[in-house]
Structure 1
């Protein structure tokens, strides 16, 4: 079978394909490697994109990069990556070059720009530089940025993920506390359907009860409630038409809504703090704040399908402790100008020597780093695309600009080191820090 190496977007994938093909043909891996070298050399001479950038050069970091002047720069980036083969990059790392670190910290809507700029500038105490090289200092100048960028924002409303509700249930004959909980869950499920929820019960004079809780507004079939008076009317109608209405009369109402896991976890922890007995839709007790956070993080997260406006993004570029600060600032400036040409952005350096924020408050980190706030939409209407291939291109360009400023830096990929991604805090937790740290899994799935 003929292998078309150009179909693979990275040198690492091409090498693996060549080696597997040679092995499956009964040949030797060494000859496959030699063939791979020849073909990569041919691709480089032809200006193909077989290196790290793949086809992302045409779209990397600048939306539709075929428009305006961004396209030639993107193509040049791919060509630059081809001239830095994996052997050269890994050999440089082995000799002490530091890896390029460019991280996407977060996205935000237009309303969040002020808070993000306040963090980046340390409340206006650090100088901030914009895309034209102008230095902005003080809160007053920073406050004008949002107005200058307003025309670039979609101002898209955040999704309503979790609603706060209450239900008044008339008195009924129940034999025990457990029977009361079963009746409450029957009432709630008749109205909410298959939505996940958590609740607490407060008994009133006369035998009626008030149920307070939180419900995921999106159903398993994709129907999303709005968490307001209109949604309460929909739920009330469904309950009144159900068989459960024969057990007891119930009145549903919503009292607010919010977006995302953090909102849900915060509200559920508050519910646990106010009530002694909080349970979920399956009758499981939510005993403490940790259980409340885990329920939202691990079980409700997949049901939320949160949507937030992505008007700006927060990008962090960092270097090792001891890196020349002035050189790194120049590299960051050139990287942003190259990668986000046509976009509005600002950046600020966080140097441990001049950071006004104390270490115990999260400042004065030992390594120098830069924070950038970038408008996702350019003045010409292009939007930045963020994909793994684009992030790889960012690191490649950052490494190139750093080398131009005398900093030994290379783009690296964990696949080239045969290293799996690190476990996240939701997968393992430390159980011993004496000597070598030991971990145990946090889920019931076999390891």
Structure 2
């Protein structure tokens, strides 16, 4: 998943303190839309081209969890062009409102997961630039226990050019990033021996799918149906959520069980195969 957005601008001459205040006001108002102000962001300021000021701005667009037990993902911003444009327009507006003029913007960049966040912070720190990280994620000390990662209403800021400190802060924020999006479909392959009766094999596959995935939408295609020298197989796409909203979450034990059941259906059709 795309979890961190990085935007880089060339600005007319601007100082770091002025930029920091403008970005803080954007955080108060919202990054993607009004009210979307709880996200972790970071920025660095360095010398740009032709005497201009270069601003690098990174925003966590992944859902940031309240704690490690939080399984929601409602606050993710899709890495789509319309969403990037909306963030860019709000950032442009707040900069111009502060008297800072953007001259140009480089192509948007994305990175994935905690490692991607840390790599982004390190990239922003190159050439000795200080990086400011602003977040509502905290690592709370607990006497006699390991620290607890949690998010609350208190925003904290860290400004540093130290590589190790940026790595440590990236790990804190990354601990509560929801970096995986729920899967909607599964790709399943049902394969048979080359010398099998094609028609009976397809019927066995149909029998298995009807029984195993009752209530789920699925579609399949037959490969090598007429090439008798190759193994026939069914490529199956299964919707993991059924009509009542129940979600399949298959694991190794499920796959083993499905092999057994498919072999049973094949033998019922006179095809002597095992799992």
Taking structure 1 as the reference length, what is the TM-score of the superposition? 0.31
Q: TM-score by structure 2 length?
A: 0.46
Normalized per residue, which structure has more helix?
1
Instruction: Give the greater-gyration-radius structure (CA).
Output: 1
Which structure has more relative contact order (CA 8 Å, sep 6+)? It is 1
